[in-house]
Structure 1
Amino acid sequence: MRKFHHVAFLMIVGLMLSLPQTVFAHCQVPCGIYDDYARVKGMMEDAATVKKSVKLLNELAGKTDVQSQQQFVRWVNTKEMHAQKVISTIADYFLTQRVKASQEDYVERLTKHHAVIVAAMKAKQNATMEAAEALEKAIMALEGYYPHEH
């Protein structure tokens, strides 16, 4: 009987670990602790990872050995994860806390932040260097709003 409980426990833990987890870029309370520059730089790192993923996916394309196929899947997953991190950072951090309707250039800011989300979505949908570079360019368009203050 004890072995059954142990196996059931391990199955439940395995199931819980395999379920998607919600990750927030920052708390959604007015804590006043913001480092916009760091978040933009983090998104640039994510974009660089998307670019590297695309490069390696194209190098692995057509290879039929198991190791290459396994690596191909891992790079697809990496590309997807980092593009999604960019979407989450824009939606959960910038659009909820930093882009405000009271800003004089609200429409411009909103448009540029939306362009990042669209570029990240396209980077998820495509394994092209053009899509990866468009994501990078869209993020760079935000840098002027969030300068390094230190």
Structure 2
Amino acid sequence: MRKVSVLPVILIVFALLTAGSALAHCEIPCGIYDDGLRVKLIYEHAGTIEKSMRQIQALSRETPVNYNQLIRWVSNKEAHADKIQHIVSQYFLTQRIKPDAKAYEKKLAVLHQLLVCAMKCKQTTDVENVDRLRALAKEFETLYFDHSHK
């Protein structure tokens, strides 16, 4: 009877089990993220939410209503609001804003308002919510990067 080495099998199983975690970003300070890019992504998602809202409003007025496209724009709006909430909660609140940071309470308050505003963007097609989202993003950007000295 031929002896089969178990080492290759163990290595393959290990590779398969860890492949998913290797693709996911860890929540440790590895230094590969760009804070400025995260803020830019919030603005980009806000623009997509606004476009989605305007498309939903326009499609809702058409006769007959194209429900397929309408649903796609609603889903798109929701997805981009979720992405903002993810950046705020999983990136800034979880990894970047530390209790000893300057203006800690103000940053927390603005980030919380951003989360709520993103939720309101999901609930409505009121573009004023996007305007508020952008204003809050700007307020946070100023606090976070401490642009007050410029």
Query: What is the deviation of 1:29?
Result: 1.6
Moved over 3 A (4+): none
> What is the TM-score when the length of structure 1 is the normalising length?
0.75
Query: What is the deviation of 1:136?
Result: 1.7
Query: What is the deviation of 1:103?
Result: 1.2
* CA separation of 1:147 and 1:107: change in aligned 2, threshold 3 A: closer
Alignment correspondent of 2:56: 57
After superposition, where does 1:1-150 map in structure 2 within 5 Å? 26-65=25-64, 68-144=66-142, 145-146=144-145
Distance 2:41 2:108 in 1: 20
Give the fraction of aligned pairs with identical amino acids, expressed as a percent.
41
Distance 1:147 1:26 in 2: 27
Structure 1 unmatched runs, 5+: 1-24
Q: Is the CA contact 1:54–1:132 (under 8 Å) kept in the aligned structure 2?
A: no
Structure 2 unmatched runs, 5+: 1-23
Query: What is the deviation of 1:61?
Result: 1.0
> What is the TM-score when the length of structure 2 is the normalising length?
0.75
**Which structure shows the higher helix fraction?**
2
Q: Which has the higher contact order (CA 8 A, sep 6+)?
A: 1
Distance 1:82 1:75 in 2: 11
Distance 1:74 1:49 in 2: 13
* CA separation of 1:146 and 1:34: change in aligned 2, threshold 3 A: farther
Aligned length: 123
Q: Is the CA contact 1:119–1:134 (under 8 Å) kept in the aligned structure 2?
A: yes
| Greater radius of gyration (CA) | 2
Query: What is the deviation of 1:63?
Result: 2.6
Q: CA RMSD in A?
A: 2.0
Distance 2:26 2:63 in 1: 45
Q: What is the letter of the counterpart of residue 128 of structure 1?
A: D
Distance 1:90 1:101 in 2: 16
Query: What is the deviation of 1:46?
Result: 0.2
Q: What is the letter of the counterpart of residue 107 of structure 1?
A: E
